[in-house]
Amino acid sequence: GLSTCALQQLDSAHYLHPFTDHAALRERGARVIVRGDGVYLWDSEGNKIIDGMAGLWCVNAGYGRTSIADAVHAQMSTLPFYNSFFNTTNVPAVQLAALLAAVSPPQFQHVFYTSSGSEANDTIVRMVRRYWQLAGRPEREVIISRRNAYHGSTMAGASLGGMAGMHAQGSLPIPGIVHIGQPHYAEGGRGMSEAEFGLEAAGWLEAKILEVGPDKVAAFIGEPVQGAGGVIIPPSTYWPEIQRICDKYDILLVSDEVICGFGRLGTWFGCELMGFRPDLIAFAKGVTSGYVPLGGVLVGGRVAHTLIDKGGDFNHGFTYSGHPSACAAALENIRILQTELLVERVALETGPHLKACFAALVAHPLVGHAETCGLAGGLNLVRRKGASVHDCEAFASTHAVGMLCRKHMFDNGVIMRAVGDRMIVAPPLSMTVAQIDEMVERIGYCLDLTLAEVQA
Ligand code: PLP
């Protein structure tokens, strides 16, 4: 095989990476990941790494599941691909549709397949607008989303997303997509209880609906817990109030469950934990634990029946919609989540344990506050701690300390992600209590290294 150095040279000569500073990458050389087993990865130099990010929030069942490989191999050997356009279907796609209907909230009896979360959200934009045409209200076109949301990298996905840096690079958002603030208590809740702030932040939706004009608004979309934005966990009052407002103005409610779906928060879907009842759900990632690309839209009865009974055709679809080999991977992955009770374990065992460990890390001089929800969590690194989240003093240049900490973790065999100075985790749902302890011990050691360097 090629040496690490040779691979790194070819990498920087030919490979344009997603969301990557290539100058920095060239300087360090990309780390070559060669193997995974359970919650661990190995690089080409033989270093063992504990994966606190489940790949990219997706390897819910953990690495090394040969039964998923076997299921995909069997399907590929029988029928690797066929399309579902023009009155054909295939066995795994049908079986998976029925299984998704069984594991999701009861209003979801239909699925539209894509290959990614971005395509799922693009599909949602088109589906929502098609729905309102068929419902005789074609002027309802505007979709409301949130600042600092992440909904993907396609034109519609990046527009729905509320990342200023992404909008700036592509003349986005596209017309018909507007944003409100995020329910981030540490950022906006000074002087309020969390419960009060949740109602306040949900009220921004009503204000935006009135500004746009209630008969022009088609839908509201949000992640139950914002993932890429930094594991932003809304107050418990937020989503029920969003539901009330959507009901009041008859607006479709869309839950982007690309991260929260398939057990991340200790429920099959995040909306179940957060207490709302969406009309549409975007999913991807955890549906196959990332073994093969697959995504889709769960379509609730209101939209599904209109599309089916009034629509005739919805002129939308992908070559790989309902890809048999991808659906075979999902069937086996969901079987693993069910038989190993991984979702229940997050709710009752591993999630509460991560919460206790993160609460203990707040004793570290660098950690201002910490939050978790299921197996997702965030630690805020601060210059000076305060009595409440609003009284901590941030570092002057945010990012620098987060990046430094991330580097120490990367070099010391634990993967966490830095969002500004907030360090986040979302490990495989198969992570055991003992492995959480191992991960948190390494995190503590890397916080010490970071502190020493900050103080120097
Ligand atoms: N929606 C959310 C909430 C996500 O976190 C992501 C990816 O991280 C996406 C959509 C986009 O999914 P994909 O990268 O599969 O296109």
For residue 355, the domain's CATH number is 3.90.1150.10
How many other C-beta atoms can be found within 10 angstroms of the C-beta atom of residue 414? 24
Quick one: 297 and 416 in the same domain?
Answer: no
Q: Within a domain: residue 5?
A: no
Residues 283 and 262: beta-carbon distance below 8 Å: yes
What was the pLDDT predicted at 398? 65
Same domain for 108 and 149?
yes
Same domain, 159 and 189: yes
Atom number of ligand 1 nearest to Cα 56:
8
Distance CA 228, CA 405 (A): 18
Which atom of ligand 1 lies at the shortest distance from residue 115's CA?
15
Q: Are strands 295-300 and 108-114 parallel, antiparallel or unpaired?
A: antiparallel
**Residue 54 lies inside a defined structural domain of this protein:** yes
The answer to whether position 119 is within a domain reads yes
Mark whether 329 and 385 lie in a shared domain: no
Return phi, psi of residue 269, to 5°.
-130, 145
Q: Is the CB of 230 under 6 A from ligand 1?
A: no
How much distance in Å is there from the Cα of 392 to the middle of ligand 1?
31
The atom number, within ligand 1, closest to the CA of 57 reads 8
My answer on whether 395 and 326 are in the same domain is no
**What's residue 311's pLDDT?**
74
CA distances from 292 to 56, 289, 315, 330 (A): 13, 8, 26, 8
The answer, yes or no, to whether any atom of ligand 1 lies below 6 A from the CB of 257, is no
Pocket test for ligand 1, best of 118, 269, 318 (most atoms within 8 A of CB): 118
Residue 110 phi, psi (nearest 5): -135, 150
Ligand 1, atom 7: nearest CA belongs to which residue? 152
Beta carbons within 10 angstroms of residue 84's beta carbon:
19
Residue 14 maps to a domain: no
Which amino acid would we find at residue 408? H
| Nearest residue (CA) to ligand 1, atom 13 | 117
Number of folded domains that form the chain = 2
Same domain, 335 and 349: no
Closest of 405, 356, 409 to residue 381, by C-alpha = 405
- Are residues 414 and 447 located together in one domain of the fold? yes
Do 145 and 54 lie in a common domain?
no
Question: Is residue 13 domain-resident?
Answer: no
How far apart are the C-alpha atoms of 314 and 132, rounded to whole Å?
Answer: 13
The secondary structure element, H or E, covering residue 379 is strand 376-381
**Residue 281 shares a structural domain with residue 349:** no
Quick check: is 25 in a domain?
no
Last residue of a domain, one of 306, 339, 372: 339
The ranges of the chain with pLDDT < 50 are: none
| Spatial separation of the C-alpha atoms in residues 269 and 261, rounded to whole Å | 4
The residue among 447, 375, 455 whose CA lies nearest residue 418 is: 447
Please work out whether the CB of residue 409 comes within 6 Å of at least one atom of ligand 1.
Answer: no
Residue of 331, 330, 328 whose CA lies nearest to 72 = 328
- At 331 the three-state DSSP class reads helix
Q: What is the pLDDT of residue 1?
A: 86
42, 110: one domain: no
Kindly give the pairing relationship between strand 217-222 and strand 142-146.
parallel
Q: Give yes or no: residues 203 and 331 share one domain.
A: yes
By DSSP bridging, strand 422-425 and strand 376-381 are antiparallel
CA angle 53, 55, 433 (to 5 degrees): 45
Neighbours of 401 (CB within 10 A): 24
Listed in sequence order, the residues at least 6 apart from 345 whose beta carbon sits closer than 8 Å to its beta carbon are 429
Pocket test for ligand 1, best of 258, 289, 318, 424 (most atoms within 8 A of CB): 258
Using the atom order of ligand 1, give the atom closest to the CA of residue 226. 3
**Distance from first CA to last CA of the chain, Å, rounded?**
42
**For residue 150, how far is its CA from the centre of ligand 1 (angstroms)?**
7
Kindly state if the Cβ of 258 falls inside 6 Å of ligand 1: yes
Last residue in a domain, options 307, 339, 371: 339
Structural domain span for residue 441: 31-61+341-455
Q: Is 5 helix (H, G, I), strand (E, B) or coil?
A: helix
Chain length of the chain: 456
- Residue 246's pLDDT is what? 98
Q: Which of 300, 318, 339 is the last residue of a domain?
A: 339
Query: Positive or negative, the Cα torsion across 361, 362, 364, 368?
Result: positive
Same domain, 167 and 262: yes
Domain harbouring 333, CATH code: 3.40.640.10
Our CA angle for 118, 119, 120, nearest 5°, is: 90
Asked if residue 390 is part of any domain, the answer here is: yes
Rounded to whole angstroms, the Cα distance separating 186 from 383 reads 15
* 6 lies in some domain: no
Pairing of strands 217-222, 417-419: unpaired
Q: What is the pTM of this model?
A: 0.98
Q: What is the pLDDT of residues 251-283, one digit of tens each?
A: 999 999 999 999 999 999 999 999 999 999 999
**Longest Cα pair distance anywhere in the chain, in angstroms?**
68
> What is the ipTM metric for this complex?
0.99
